[in-house]
Chain A
Amino acid sequence: MKTLEEINKIREEKRKELDLRINTSADTREKHILVCHGTGCTSSKSTQIIENFRKIIEEKNIENVRVIQTGCFGLCAKGPIVIIRPEDVFYAMVTPNDCEEIIEKHIQNGEIVQRLLCKDIDNKTVQKLDELNFYKKQKRIALKNCGVIDPENIEEYIAFDGYKALEKVLFHMTPDEVIEEISASGLRGRGGAGFPTGRKWLFTKMAEGDQKYVVCNADEGDPGAFMDRSILEGDPHCVVEAMMIAGYSVGANKGYIYVRAEYPIAVKRFQKAIDSAREYGILGKNIWNSGFDFDLEVRLGAGAFVCGEETALLESIEGKRGQPRLKPPFPANEGLFGKPTLINNVETYANITKIILNGAKWYSSIGTEKSKGTKVFALGGNVNNTGLVEVPMGTTLREIVYDIGGGIPNGRDFKAAQTGGPSGGCIPKEHLDTPIDYESLQAIGSMMGSGGLIVMDDTKCMVNLAKFYLGFTVDESCGKCTPCRIGTKRMLEMLEKITEGNGQKGDIEKLENLAVNIKAASVCGLGQSAPNPVLSTIKYFREEYREHIDFKECKAGECKALMKLSIDPELCRGCGLCKRNCPVDAISGEVKQTHIIDQEKCIKCGTCITKCPFHAIKG
């Protein structure tokens, strides 16, 4: 247990000690080796890297060097990432075998290991993180501490203004003032729908009930999205603190966080954050003698996309099948165990402490007229810099894909980007300059969604993409209401028919008609948005659907049944790349001569199409 005075003292001392993390001219002899320990980098052996560093430092008996695990730096494509502070040197794609060289050259001799520096898209070698194009247009608010602090060390969080917002709220603000501040900031729900956060808090506060709950939705089900996971892995305390502030404002003393069990690192770090907050007397009874009680509990999801829908999530916390409830009553009035409940998404919470500390005015100065602040996106698919990015609202898609993302690999063209996952829609080339905010995205038939942003190049078939998403929703439909359960299945069947070359005239219209009805008649957000990927691909790529139906042709070469691969003798230079990469040895040909595909052997996997540097293979 620590008193408020003791916490403030820890902050002051630790802040001095950790100044080198954010200040390149910090006056210190110490060096910190920061190693990304998010899921992406951990998958490529960053745990081993940390161990190796520690072992070498111990063996060589080097003083004043610390190795710290941090959350995600964002540039997952170049992972595992190692950063040395205070000089802020950034090493990419480090392997456990590189540790010795880094220690010997860099730490001991102050010499930079050139070969591990990162090459930017324009082929310039970059030494510092913020010199990368990837970071130039970003603004980190929700991800402020990710990659700076050790997420498992509460004192490091405290050092960077941690739990200061809680102190401000408990001792200097009334609940109404807090809600007023959040409302004035213009913050809207980052889960996708964009409901004003302040208003949600107000509704829960006004609801009558002896017991109220605060819930954090960390059931990040959108395949291809990992913003919430990265926040929980990189800065779990900021969510704990924000949930406490929410609890104080709406009058709740108990909180639940619902996390996917597929995120073991996030679960472990959040649990650890709760434990250390309890140990420091930040969670518990009569916190800092303010009279406010609050405690938190982690609940695990078990792999059901629909549980990201707020009422289904509540059912699941109660231990039941995650089937959505009818609304109204809204959770603000009748939520968890029938009590008034506030539910916000992880990223929404991650903004709260910053708004309290810097003021609503500061926050609302960022972004567009109706969408304030920043948004975190998980950038993936056919783009050079895959990873986690945070940009001010109003940034255009072109800036995200080209300036930050570094464009499309292999010299291919941009075809479309999907936002909002299975509930969203695709954005074609002609809308690349659309500013990203809630209204603009909706106007072009997509949605903000939770933050998945998948880029697709011109080898992707949009009919097949729609089929993929529909397959997902059919799997994940909970089965409670008929339009979603049966309707999406019928749509999937039609799409399968089309991609297999059995499409008939009128199928597009049938799909559209069914889509509109499913949207109108489904109980929850899953069903109401499930047809969106189909509608938006039809809207922008109707021609492609027609080619599949009328000419039995898939120009992108993804629909196998419609595909017959051939090599264009005009373009083939006989480099042999296709031959070497073919998994079934179906390609033959001499070097520098046109190669031929044996149609009998070919399994139409398309590997040769992606490998051919001259785009000579056509499906």
Chain B
Amino acid sequence: MQEILGKYSKEKSNLIQILNEVQEYYGYIPENAQVEISEYLSITMAQIYGVITFYSRFTLKPRGKYHIAVCLGTACYVKGSEKILDRAKEKLGIDVGETTKDGKFSLEATRCIGACGLAPVFTVNEEVYGKATVKTLDEAIDKIMENPE
């Protein structure tokens, strides 16, 4: 935490930059990080909470080990990504924004990741699956489930 904060001056306008780094590092924004940011930038906890909940990139809960994000941008939507999302919900038994009990999978519906030429698209962590179908998703999830590590 100190390392991240050390990169920035105490100007209040650095809040979002810092939150972005914290989100990147921990996968979510833990409460004690919020306390440290609050002290460092002299911004109240309430204001920080307000900013975190305003932006969809920031989360207050940890993500699963495998984070599945189905793109619901227009290009993907037109090419049927909603069906992929529905299938993911059904298969994992969780809703968008949730994490499975074993902490293995989490699911997100994102807006355009900019790979519209490959629509429909979903990602598992950093890997992009383009021109995807319900079957591609099934296979990707099954592969992870079969190989525990």
Contact = CB atoms under 8 A, between A and B. Distances in A.
Interface of A: 39-40, 43-44, 76-77, 79, 221-226, 229, 261-263, 299-305, 316-322, 337, 378, 380-382, 386-387, 418, 421, 452, 454, 456, 460, 468-469, 472, 478, 581, 583, 605-607, 610
Contact of A261 (B20, B76, B117): B20
A537 B13 CA distance: 41
B40 to A, nearest CB: 13
Given A321-B50, A386-B119, A456-B78, A299 B114 contact: no
A375 B28 CA distance: 39
B114 A262 contact: yes
B116 A302 contact: no
A24 to B, nearest CB: 26
Interface stretch (B52-60, B99-107, B140-148): B52-60
A419 to B, nearest CB: 11
Nearest to A321: B54
Contacts of A318: 12-13
Contacts of B16: 299-302, 316, 319
17 contacts: A39-B113, A39-B115, A76-B116, A76-B118, A222-B74, A223-B77, A224-B73, A225-B112, A263-B114, A299-B16, A319-B11, A321-B54, A380-B117, A381-B74, A386-B75, A421-B74, A607-B83
Nearest to B74: A224
Contact of B111 (A43, A77, A221, A581): A221
Interface in B107-149: 110-119, 121, 128, 130, 133-135, 138
A606 B79 CA distance: 11
Nearest to B41: A319
Interface in B15-52: 15-17, 19-20, 50-51
A311 to B, nearest CB: 15
Name the 9 nearest CB pairs between A and B, nearest first: A76-B117, A223-B73, A380-B75, A224-B74, A302-B55, A319-B15, A303-B57, A43-B128, A303-B56
Contacts of A301: 16, 55
A387 B72 CA distance: 18
B117 A303 contact: no
A205 B83 CA distance: 51
A432 B56 CA distance: 37
A299 B80 CA distance: 33
Contact of A224 (B116, B134, B138): B116
A341 B77 CA distance: 37
B89 interface: no
A225 B15 CA distance: 28
Contacts, number: 143
Contacts of A454: 74-75, 78
B117 A77 contact: yes
A307 B33 CA distance: 25
A205 to B, nearest CB: 25
B134 to A, nearest CB: 5
B67 interface: no
Given A221-B111, A318-B13, A468-B77, A386 B57 contact: no
Contacts of B114: 39-40, 226, 229, 262-263
Given A224-B74, A302-B19, A382-B78, A79 B57 contact: no
Nearest to B47: A320
Nearest to B11: A319
A386 B78 contact: no
B51 A321 contact: yes
Contacts of B17: 299-300, 319
Which of B13, B76, B121 has the largest count of A CB atoms less than 10 A from its CB?
A: B13
Contacts of B50: 321
Nearest to B72: A223
A386 B109 CA distance: 22
Nearest to A479: B54
Given A302-B16, A606-B80, A606-B83, A381 B75 contact: yes
A516 B98 CA distance: 37
